[in-house]
Amino acid sequence: MRLPLFLFIAVFFAQSASAEVKVTQTVAPTLRHAVITATASADHTGEILHVVRGRERLNSIVLAAGETGAVGKLRFMLPLVVNQDTPNTVVRHRAKLIADLPTPNTLDRRIAAFMEVPFHSHSMFAGTELPEPEFEHPGWVETLFGPHKITARFFNNDHEEVTKAEVPGRYGVVTTLHAEGIKPIHRFVTIYRVPKRLDWGAYRATLTAPESVGVNPAVLEAAQEQLNDMVRWELVDRFEHKLHGAAFFGAMAAATVDDAPFTGANAYWNADEAWWIALKKKIGLFEHRYLTYLPDGYEVDTDQRWPLLIYLHGPQEAGTDLDRVKQNALPKLLEQGKKVPMIVIAPQLEAEKWWVPAHVNDLVDELVQKYRVDADRIYLSGIMMGGFSSWYTAGFYPDRFAAIVPVRAGGDPSLAPALKTVSAWAFHAEKDPGVPISRNRRMVNAVNKAGGNAKLTAIPGDNERIYNQVYQREDIWPWLLKQSRGKAN
């Protein structure tokens, strides 16, 4: 199991020659503990540091002889909830303050780790008994949150709460973790009841392999049974043990042939998200969280409709603290006073989620009802996964958007025909080491080949964090304002 290795470091140096002690604070991989490390020259060996948080004395650190001087460590439990009232951790040496350490807030990272804990129960099942969710690593959940309770609610394909799987098809499980001092944490998992027990042992298929694998086709033909065995085990792992199979077959069972082709908005993973959005709304577990930036003059003329730009953040800003979205790219610039001639909405995703197009489309529905939006001038922009989703969302719902500005991203070239009515201006560092510029270039070329209007600006160098540079450009905003729905230019 992959543990999240989040490191929070604060370094403080003593202010006087008599207390030349360096103090660092790190968060342990458990995310529930912090470690304070004190280092000093060898002549400080045996000296004691006192560590206090508020009125609570955590313990003392005794500096012991080390390889390069004196060193001491203290490991202590972090509070489950950290807010503005949580006191700092203070370290004193010879009665003098040498470090004033903020208490790390690891709740978002613990929630993200919880979302990754795999379930032990299968996502595809037979019979009327609904499988109770069981974690493969319950001890890890205990480590993350301490004493807790897990509850589960089940819903059928019509979003009705049930206790039995009366008919085959899609079901949803809302698994909730309850721990003292924090709001309940929910996981939403699709499961699928098959008409009868799956017999993977009887599954057979005629399989071939690409010539590039370098195996004689006649040999593969003779090895069909072994190839089938390998594929069967892969199918069992992907469909029964993981969640993809249930989401796929659940969406397909609820679809009709009129819904084909099952791409774009009808792709199984997007259809599954749309199904969950409707259920979450019904049971009161869904809301869009976002920052709102209104243009100058919005309140003056109450009849005027304004362009709308939805900014989709990257993975680092996901979580429960909306202020994290302000720390990067366009929201950061707007917080610093930058003015743009349109409504800007910066939503936040939950930890370990992705900007699924159905989610963004539902947000658009809410915004056009809440604000005076010019429906012909709705734009999307985003960085990293937000940039990828800009391509996908506009490709899935091209009738909603006039233009997109994906930064450090890419997409699926098969969406190019749908995107030919959506103007696109992509940005990418020329030598980006993490996400190659070819990802954006491939999309731009595909859209233009399909008859659309897309362009790519390559920014010299290999700086991955080109976001501020992009949104500080003054030419983006007039370009966006020229774009209207269905009229790529």
pLDDT range class, residue 9, cuts 50, 70, 90: very low
Which pLDDT does position 136 carry in this prediction?
87
pLDDT tens digit string along 205-232?
666 777 777 878 788 778 877 877 777 7
Pick the CATH number of 287-481 from 3.40.50.1820, 2.170.130.30, 3.40.50.1370, 3.90.226.10: 3.40.50.1820
Residue 338: half-sphere exposure toward Cβ, Cα within 13 Å: 18
pLDDT range class, residue 238, cuts 50, 70, 90: low
Residues of the chain with CATH 3.40.50.1820: 287-481
Range in 157-161, 187-191, 349-353, 376-380 with the lowest mean pLDDT = 349-353
Q: To the nearest whole percent, how much of the chain has pLDDT over 90?
A: 63
Supply φ then ψ for residue 330, to 5 degrees: -60, -50
pLDDT range class, residue 242, cuts 50, 70, 90: low
The DSSP annotation for 91-134 comes to EEETTEEEEEEPPP--HHHHHHHHHHSPBSS-SEEESSPPPPP-
Which pLDDT does position 34 carry in this prediction?
93
Rounded average pLDDT over 143-164: 96
pLDDT range class, residue 279, cuts 50, 70, 90: very high
Which pLDDT does position 459 carry in this prediction?
93
Alpha-carbon 360 to chain mean position: 13
Which pLDDT does position 241 carry in this prediction?
60
Q: Is the pLDDT of residue 18 over 90?
A: no
Distances (CA, A) of 352 to 10, 109, 316: 26, 9, 10
Which pLDDT does position 210 carry in this prediction?
73
Q: Is the pLDDT of residue 144 over 60?
A: yes
Q: Which fold has domain 10-105?
A: Immunoglobulin-like (2.60.40)
Q: Which residues are within 8 A (CB) of 133 and not within 5 positions of it... i.e. 6 or more apart?
A: 119, 121, 150, 152, 173, 175, 187, 189
Greater model confidence, 18 or 194: 194
Which pLDDT does position 3 carry in this prediction?
38
Rounded average pLDDT over 412-423: 95
pLDDT tens digit string along 254-271?
988 888 778 877 888 899
Residues of the chain with CATH 2.60.40: 10-105
Rounded average pLDDT over 338-362: 93
Range in 113-127, 309-323, 324-338, 418-432 with the lowest mean pLDDT = 113-127
Which pLDDT does position 230 carry in this prediction?
77
Rounded average pLDDT over 371-400: 96
pLDDT, mean over the chain:
88
Which pLDDT does position 320 carry in this prediction?
85
